[in-house]
Amino acid sequence: MKKIVIINGSPNPNSISNTYKALVAYNKYLEKKYAAEGEELKSVYFKLPGDLRGCNDCRTCSVDCNLKDVMQEIMNEIADADFVMIGSPVYLDMPTAQTVAFLTRLNCKAENTNREFFKGKKALLVATAYCSGTKSVIHTMMGACEMLGFDIDGRSSREYISSWHDKKLRGGMNSKTDAIYLS
């Protein structure tokens, strides 16, 4: 049996979160893929709280971070996981604050285990946006995950596309004539 820990860095409720929808879609894809290979995929899901604190460089960490919150439960699940799927919407071409906080908190475990804790675990990265920024967010998360010691296959991603229904100008557009609106 394979195990995946799914991390949702969106501040939106799951009922309206495109990041949640993308994570669920990607997980279903993986379940089908592994089922076709005769393997089961166990999924464990976490939604990062909006008040998750990042590493504050307290210099007192041991193998585990001294901040007591949901991170201890997440780390316990990651310990025997094969995959960690991290999803974030794009906020100003960056991951959300709670996603960045999450990634900085993983560094305690990485540094205090000589990066062995994440060795052999594959990071799967998901970014959702209405127009642009997914490459920046994936690049940011990928750099962090590579530094932490995760394995990352290739440099491609699956896209979850949802059309928007307003007429707002999106990134890089100077006027409404720069946009093509699909019916």
Confidence at residue 156, expressed as pLDDT on a 0 to 100 scale = 42
Judged on CB neighbours under 10 Å (0-12, 13-18, 19+), 103 is buried
Cα–chain-centroid distance for residue 129?
Answer: 13
Confidence at residue 160, expressed as pLDDT on a 0 to 100 scale = 47
Confidence at residue 113, expressed as pLDDT on a 0 to 100 scale = 86
pTM summary value: 0.83
pLDDT tens digits, one per residue of 117-166: 999 999 999 998 877 788 889 889 999 999 999 988 764 444 444 555 66
Q: Which structure tokens are listed for 23?
A: 């994570």
**Percent of the chain whose predicted confidence (pLDDT) is above 70:** 80
Question: What is the secondary structure of 40-93 as a DSSP string?
Answer: -EEEEEEE--TT-------S---SS-SS-STHHHHHHHHTT-SEEEEEEE-BTT
Q: How far apart are CA 180 and CA 77, in angstroms?
A: 45
pLDDT tens digits, one per residue of 72-89: 899 999 999 999 999 999
Provide the β-strand partners of residue 94.
Answer: 91
Selection from 124, 110, 118 nearest residue 153 by Cα: 124
